[in-house]
Amino acid sequence: MAQPRILVLAAIASVGMAACGGSSSAGGTPAKPDKVQIAAEGPFTGPQAVIGAGALQAIQLAVKDFNKAGGVNGTPVTLLIWDDQHTAQVAQNFQAVGISDPTVLGIVGPMNSGVVLGTAPGLQQASPPLPLVSESASAVKVSESGWSVVHRVNARDDAQGPADAKFMMDQGAKKVFVMDAKSDYSIGLADQTEKYLKDHNVSTQRESAQQGQKDFSTIVTKIKASGAEWVYFADEGPEAVFLVNEMKHQSLTIGNNIQFLGTDGEEDASIIANTQGAYAGAYATNIAADPAGLTSSAAQNYVTEFKTEYGPDSLSKAGPFYGSAYEAAQVLLQAIKNSPVKNGKISRADVLSNLGTATFNTIFGSVKFDSKGDVQGGGIYVYQAKGTQMVVVKQVSG
């Protein structure tokens, strides 16, 4: 909805700037690009909007802040919104538009590993290639497939899986009920965790939830019969609310006769309210830090700004990636700003090489990518549902 307005603003601003640009060009001010566009891509509507909607708000805020600070040498950045519905086919339709327009300089996203895996070859073959910075794609293959366009600010499943397994083992887990939700992300992560547990002689039982599943009575009856003391659910969607409610219905109380460890999508305070408190005591790990749980002034300022922009209770609906989405947008925007302007144009090739070499300044501190596009020193954070919030209880460095 805000898109046309931004376009108009951009047009007005560029006309105004061009008017005064003529006299100052001799004064050595940096050259001004004619038009700069980036895209936000993720599941902004549909069942996974729980994770996407907050990330989009964060990216919109990042672009707004960047433009307020002067944009790219005076040219404001236009944000395109690509709602890929977490499917690669939908994503490709949007990306085709971006590939053919040389003023589209990069993508913040896609959020889902499956979408990155399905679309990266096309972005790579574009001329010049269209770079992306994902805030949440965690499957190992994302950065192990040799695509130079792919970058991500979050940690990988092969860091998260073992960290999750180790956390449960440290708490004395002997038998773990491992569940996935049948997505590339979820199966990959559950596999990593299950493998680590088995390698360390912890017995496991593996089951699957359907995406969008509501009735978990069959699975919960199985959990009870299995004798597991830990339930591990790798999930990015809203299924945990229903699972936890059903556990309560069959007399499994988290923190009492069962322990619960969720991932990313379950690092979400709204689950506590939506289960009427039954989620209290559950743990969840996140591949991205929650700024609200950090003490640095950059993170705290961002949290304050987010609440001012979207309302005091917006944080409870922001999902697990509103921090990393802002971070990813900051990285891409800085890479664009660092790139040279030739004849009013910035080349995607320059943006791409800058992403690979520069160090970026973000709300989480400085960020640099390794040769595969993974962030150096990314960490896994363990949260626990306490009161009405998710609180950081442990940080496992990558």
Partner 1 sequence: MGYFLQQLVNGLELGSLYALVALGYTLIYGILELLNFAHGDVFMVGAFLAAGAAAALVHNEVAAIPGGFVVVLMLLVAMGGAGVLGVAIERVAYRPLRNANRLAPLITAIGVSLLLENAVFVWVSPAPVLVPTNALVSQGIIQAGSVATPLTGLVLFAGSLALMIALDLFVFRTRFGSAMRATAQDREAATFMGIDVDRVIMVTFFLASALAGLGGVLFGLRYASVDFFMGYGLGIKAFTAAVIGGIGNIRGAMVGGLLLGVLESLSGGFISTQFQDTFVFLALIAVLLLRPQGLLGQPVTDRA
Say how many C-beta atoms besides its own lie within 10 A of residue 388's C-beta: 12
Give the whole-angstrom CA distance, residue 377 versus residue 379: 6
For residue 236, the surrounding DSSP H or E stretch is none
Tokens representing residue 168 in the block: 């449960």
Stretch that binds partner 1, among 60-68, 170-178, 238-246, 254-262 (CB under 8 A): 238-246
Give the whole-angstrom CA distance, residue 261 versus residue 266: 9
Tell me the residue type at 221: T
The yes or no reply on residue 175 touching partner 1 (CB under 8 A) is no
Nearer of residues 24 and 276 to partner 1, judged by Cβ:
276
What is the nearest approach in angstroms of partner 1 to the Cβ of residue 54? 10
The yes or no reply on residue 171 touching partner 1 (CB under 8 A) is no
How many residues form the binding site for partner 1 (CB under 8 A)? 36
Are 59 and 108 within 8 A, CB to CB? yes
Encoded one letter per residue, x for contact with partner 1 by CB under 8 A and - for no contact, window 304-343 reads -------------x--------------------------
What is the nearest approach in angstroms of partner 1 to the Cβ of residue 161? 19
What is the nearest approach in angstroms of partner 1 to the Cβ of residue 388? 13
Nearer of residues 103 and 208 to partner 1, judged by Cβ:
208
Burial class (CB in 10 A: 0-12, 13-18, 19+), 369: buried
Pick from 3, 24, 25, 45 the residue near partner 1 by CB under 8 A.
Answer: 45
Question: Residue 4 has what DSSP assignment?
Answer: H
Residues 88-147 close enough to bind partner 1 by CB under 8 A: none
For residue 114, which of 95, 91, 130 has the smallest C-alpha distance? 91
Owner of token pair 């994503």: 91
Tokens representing residue 264 in the block: 């990313």
The yes or no reply on residue 293 touching partner 1 (CB under 8 A) is no
Encoded one letter per residue, x for contact with partner 1 by CB under 8 A and - for no contact, window 198-237 reads --------xxxxx-xxxx-xxx-xx--x------------
The yes or no reply on residue 40 touching partner 1 (CB under 8 A) is no
Give the whole-angstrom CA distance, residue 316 versus residue 322: 11
- Paired residues of 385 in beta bridges: 390
Give the whole-angstrom CA distance, residue 208 versus residue 21: 60
What is the nearest approach in angstroms of partner 1 to the Cβ of residue 127? 36
Owner of token pair 């800058």: 354
What is the nearest approach in angstroms of partner 1 to the Cβ of residue 50? 5
What is the nearest approach in angstroms of partner 1 to the Cβ of residue 359? 36
The yes or no reply on residue 50 touching partner 1 (CB under 8 A) is yes
Say how many C-beta atoms besides its own lie within 10 A of residue 95's C-beta: 26
Say how many C-beta atoms besides its own lie within 10 A of residue 253's C-beta: 12
What is the nearest approach in angstroms of partner 1 to the Cβ of residue 47? 4
Encoded one letter per residue, x for contact with partner 1 by CB under 8 A and - for no contact, window 239-278 reads --xx--xx--xxx------------------x--xxxx--
The yes or no reply on residue 2 touching partner 1 (CB under 8 A) is no
In sequence order, the 6+-apart residues with CB closer than 8 A to the CB of 100 are none
Which residues lie near partner 1 (CB under 8 A)?
A: 45-47, 49-50, 53, 182, 206-210, 212-215, 217-219, 221-222, 225, 238, 241-242, 245-246, 249-251, 270, 273-276, 317
